[in-house]
Structure 1
């Protein structure tokens, strides 16, 4: 399996035509770029400037009329990391992302997540960037998948979860 870096995955944001969707299934992410800002937040210091490259990219694509959406499937009560995500979600929204929350206990019964239960980005219902992590939770990279059966299953799961999830402004952890 060939993995691409997060920077290579982000290049897909320059080429998708209509919709990018992210499914998040983890209660903690060990992303090196976030280590310092997360530690600061835990100490009560809020500085979201580290998000600027991401929000600039999202603003650029949403200003073109494209959609960027994500569903965060979370355990309640929230881990400290998910609490931080919740606190920073308005920054993502201001850039144009539409974010919804789905408590893990509200998942449809019997739902099997495709691609071995990994997180993924789905671009234009045609290409997946599936996240892979090491045993400590560090991001290893993304696997690109264009197999129509796998993509179709992810589209089905996306639509099911999007309809079930709660908009950020209405979600009260």
Structure 2
């Protein structure tokens, strides 16, 4: 599956869109300049539905009644990329997405099993995402066999907290980014 097809499916989901993220770093071509600025301590441009086409799609979908949520399963100390991403999630929240964090230290046995990134749409369609060791996306495999994805989503949601509640717990680590 290509990114255009994924975006089309995401924008037409009727009830729910869920994303599970499990890596400590992603290597996306579209983030190279932003990451460079972040590492240099330069302010990042605001990410809002008005400035970002992806967030516009999310906001329009949420406004139409589709529930968007994601859980990033992570561990501390935070990688540089995770500090960057946690700050960037404010745009997702502004678009109406429920962004949650599951810290592996809070439930190591339960969260240890969550190692596969995926999208889950309307509890009927999934996209399993494969990455290489550097966080570069290799493949996106569609599936209608979503039973295990639903279980993983439910497990991640059970052991996660909203981004707004998690950020104060990592404030000192994030300050190194400002």
Give the TM bin, normalised by the shorter chain. Answer: 0.7 to 0.9
* Deviation, structure 1 residue 49: 5.3
Contact 1:26–1:74 under 8 Å retained in 2:
yes
* Deviation, structure 1 residue 152: 1.2
**Distance 1:111-1:101 versus aligned 2 partners, 3 A rule:** closer
Alignment of structure 1 residues 44-83 onto 2, 5 Å: 44-45=41-42, 46-48=44-46, 52-83=52-83
- Please point out which of 162, 165, 177 is paired with 1:167: 162
Structure 1: runs of 5+ lacking an equivalent: none
**What is the TM-score of this pair, normalised by structure 1?**
0.87
Contact 2:129–2:139 under 8 Å retained in 1:
yes
Tell me, yes or no, if structure 1 residue 24 matches structure 2 residue 37: no
Aligned position for 2:148 = 153
Residues in 2 aligned to 1:141 and 1:48: alpha-carbon distance in whole angstroms: 29
Aligned position for 1:13 = 10
* Deviation, structure 1 residue 119: 0.2
Residues in 1 aligned to 2:34 and 2:97: alpha-carbon distance in whole angstroms: 20
Residues in 1 aligned to 2:138 and 2:116: alpha-carbon distance in whole angstroms: 12
Tell me, what secondary structure is at the counterpart of 1:26?
coil
Residues in 2 aligned to 1:7 and 1:124: alpha-carbon distance in whole angstroms: 19
Output the aligned Cα RMSD: 1.9
When the two structures are aligned, how many residues end up with a matched partner?
A: 165
Tell me, what secondary structure is at the counterpart of 1:65?
coil
Structure 2: runs of 5+ lacking an equivalent: 171-178
**Distance 1:93-1:110 versus aligned 2 partners, 3 A rule:** closer
Contact 2:72–2:100 under 8 Å retained in 1:
yes
Aligned position for 2:134 = 136
Tell me, what secondary structure is at the counterpart of 2:13?
coil
Residues in 2 aligned to 1:38 and 1:112: alpha-carbon distance in whole angstroms: 28
Tell me, yes or no, if structure 1 residue 42 matches structure 2 residue 39: yes
**What is the TM-score of this pair, normalised by structure 2?**
0.85
* Deviation, structure 1 residue 137: 2.0
